[in-house]
Amino acid sequence: MPSGPTETPRVGSPIRRPFMTAVAIVLLAAIAIYLAQQFEDVRQLGRLSLDVVVGSLVLLFASQLAHNESMLVPLRVHLPQVGFWELFLVRTGGLVVGSAVPVAGGLAVRLAYLKRQGLSYAQFTHATVLSNVLAVVAAACLALPATAALWAMAGAPPAAALGLTLVVLALGGAALALLQALPRVARHRRLPRWLPAVEDLSASRPIVIRTLLMSLLRHAANFVAFGWLYSALSGVPGSFVAGGLVYAFTTPVRMVNLTPGNLGVNEWATAVAGRALAFDLTTGLLVGGVFRAASLAAQGAGVLVGWALSESRALSDRRP
């Protein structure tokens, strides 16, 4: 670690926050107006069976666990004492703060907590970049075979869908290039004084492989949940793969909170990507809304499990 004062990454300007909140309100208002005009189509929600709802919740709970593990693996290289549920609870707090402070609110919460545990800025940056880069790579690994499967089953997908597949693949390749170039970029004199320490950090092959596998598991669970929701709400036979592919297309958008909680952004991204695969906008907006609600429920279930286990361990430690 470098000696001397360090610089703390800035969370965001106070002007940007109300602006992005206003953007979220506009996007949500646009959704409400659109769905009000398509009220008959909104009744598609009645097609959701109990099996689909419960199955989606189970899948999204598994996705949350895999996501947490994918972030924990590179962190434990530098901070081996961090527990699984400890990080889960900190991440949840970051999601709450991220709903009020777009873009970097969640990062700030994790950084503040982990720094108190002894993690340096450089180590946090390295672990965060590694987990996020491999998450994009995992999405690209999922999009390519899904597009090939859709092509084999239903013929050539629309040009827009092929374009989105290429975009995800390009982002995955760019993410890998960034990971390899990070040590060289960190040496730049104009960057914060704490960042050059990143050049001394690296990840072993087992760490990279395990992080990538956890990211693949996370995306696969979300892919299946999206596929089920699109199949149920659209009522179109054979739409499972196309519905799951919408998730793969929108994964990069979900990784950065442009508005509080990415409200409106995720839903419209889902609708537009679904439109590229011949789904109607109403179905995409409904799938985006249901997926958000189910994800929040799964996150809440994880918090309850983590809290219960923490309390159980605390009681055991207090017993004579």
Listed residue (120, 101, 84) closest to 109, CA to CA: 101
Lookup: tokens for 293: 């609600």
95 vs 109: CA distance, rounded Å? 9
Q: Is 292 exposed, middle or buried (0-12, 13-18, 19+ CB in 10 A)?
A: middle
pLDDT at 98: 62
Spans of the chain below 50 pLDDT:
1-12, 194
**What is the tens place of the pLDDT at every residue in 203-245?**
778 898 999 999 999 999 999 999 999 999 987 777 899 999 9
- The upper half-sphere exposure of residue 38, i.e. CA atoms within 13 Å in the direction of its Cβ, equals 17
What is the Cα 36 distance to its own chain's centre? 29
Q: Look up the pTM and report it.
A: 0.85
- The residue type of 150 is L
Lookup: tokens for 246: 């919408």
**What is the tens place of the pLDDT at every residue in 297-309?**
999 999 999 888 8
What is the Cα 253 distance to its own chain's centre? 8
pLDDT at 215: 95
Lookup: tokens for 196: 């050059």
CB proximity list for 93: less than 8 A, separation 6 or greater: 109, 113
Residue 191 backbone class (left: φ over 0; alpha: ψ -120 to 50; beta: rest):
beta
**Distance spanning both ends of the chain, measured CA to CA:** 42
pLDDT at 23: 87
Lookup: tokens for 98: 């991220």
Listed residue (227, 236, 287, 249) closest to 31, CA to CA: 287
Ranges of H-type helices in the chain: 16-37, 39-42, 50-76, 84-100, 105-116, 121-154, 159-185, 205-234, 240-254, 265-276, 281-318
CB 110 within 8 A of CB 94: yes
Listed residue (279, 245, 227) closest to 41, CA to CA: 279
Enumerate the domain spans of the chain: 60-315
Identify the residue whose tokens are 């545990």.
117
pLDDT at 216: 95
Neighbours of 82 (CB within 10 A): 17
pLDDT at 93: 81
